Amino acid sequence: MEEANPTWLHPGMPITIERMMIVTEAQQSRRLPRRRQRNEPMEEEGLQEEEEQQHIPPHNTLDMTQMQEAIGRLSQQYMRIQERQEEYHSQYMKNQQEQEEWQLRMMNKQSEFESKFFVMQEEHAFQAHESFGKLAQMQAENMRALKEFTTLQEARYEVQADYNINSQIKLNYIGEHLHNMDPAFPKGKVRLK
């Protein structure tokens, strides 16, 4: 298994061609068993080392088409995430509105109940008070559940928004520094569709 926090993934470290093309020891160790399963075992150790080096891409080459395709896929993924986030937010707002309407109905019912309660005869006062207590307890439980739901949705929305912002920052960084990797790219900001 790869290291939990490899040095080449620390935030703030600049992206270079060498860093993007690096093959970790964990990745290399996963490649070797696969090759051995596919090919018959080689008799000479020297041939095996040469074959391994042939499959490792050089650190200083970078296929710009692959880079552009990767950036395009990231951009599409970001747009899908944005759309899902908007759907979640609209669903959240709809749920919140339904909860508010439900609360209003409950409050109206409570008001109706209270008006009937005060009109009732004295002999039914104890039973009505008991029913009111149950209704208040149910409303308190519903309010608590609504508050937990609202807090969870807000936290989820904030986490998703932070993730989207961080993803956009990374994409912008890559777009701004593509000209360092290949002079064919224009300097400045690159707008991704």
DSSP secondary structure string for all residues of 126-139: HHHHHHHHHHHHHH
Q: List, for residues 72-114, the tens digit of each pLDDT value.
A: 999 999 999 999 999 999 999 999 999 999 999 999 988 888 7
Tokens 């790219």 label which residue?
A: 185
Q: Are residues 70 and 36 in the same domain?
A: no
Q: Which two tokens stand for residue 80?
A: 């899908």
The percentage of residues in the chain with a pLDDT greater than 70, rounded to a whole number, is 65
Task: Say what the alpha-carbon torsion angle 166, 168, 170, 175 is, to the nearest 10 degrees.
Answer: -170
Q: Are residues 87 and 147 in the same domain?
A: yes
Q: Are residues 117 and 40 in the same domain?
A: no
Q: Are residues 85 and 34 in the same domain?
A: no
Q: Are 182 and 17 in contact (CB under 8 A)?
A: no
Q: Are residues 82 and 44 in the same domain?
A: no
pTM comes to 0.28
Please count the structural domains in the chain.
2
Instruction: Compute the average pLDDT of residues 128-137.
Output: 85
pLDDT grade, residue 63 (50/70/90)?
Answer: confident
What residues make up the domain containing 45? 1-61
Q: Are residues 150 and 67 in the same domain?
A: yes
Q: Are 177 and 87 in contact (CB under 8 A)?
A: no
Q: Are residues 105 and 116 in the same domain?
A: yes
Residue 68 host element (H or E): helix 64-119
* Cβ neighbours, 10 Å, residue 178: 19
Last residue of a domain, one of 22, 45, 61: 61
Q: Are residues 100 and 33 in the same domain?
A: no
- Average the pLDDT over each of 18-22, 63-67, 128-132, 166-170 and give the range with the smallest value: 18-22
More confident residue, 19 or 147: 147
| pLDDT of amino acid 1 | 47
The percentage of residues in the chain with a pLDDT greater than 90, rounded to a whole number, is 38
Q: Are residues 57 and 84 in the same domain?
A: no
| pLDDT of amino acid 174 | 81
User: Quick check: helix, strand or coil at residue 191?
Assistant: coil
Instruction: Compute the average pLDDT of residues 144-160.
Output: 92
- Average the pLDDT over each of 16-30, 61-75, 111-125 and give the range with the smallest value: 16-30
Last residue of a domain, one of 13, 35, 61: 61
pLDDT grade, residue 60 (50/70/90)?
Answer: very low
Tokens 């807000």 label which residue?
A: 154
Last residue of a domain, one of 61, 79, 107: 61
Cα-based distances in Å from 185 to 18, 29, 77, 181, 190: 19, 35, 23, 8, 9
| Mean pLDDT score of the chain | 77
Q: Are residues 39 and 77 in the same domain?
A: no
Q: Are residues 130 and 142 in the same domain?
A: yes
| pLDDT of amino acid 93 | 94
- Average the pLDDT over each of 9-13, 17-21, 160-164 and give the range with the smallest value: 9-13
Q: Which two tokens stand for residue 131?
A: 């029913």
| pLDDT of amino acid 83 | 94
Q: Are residues 110 and 130 in the same domain?
A: yes
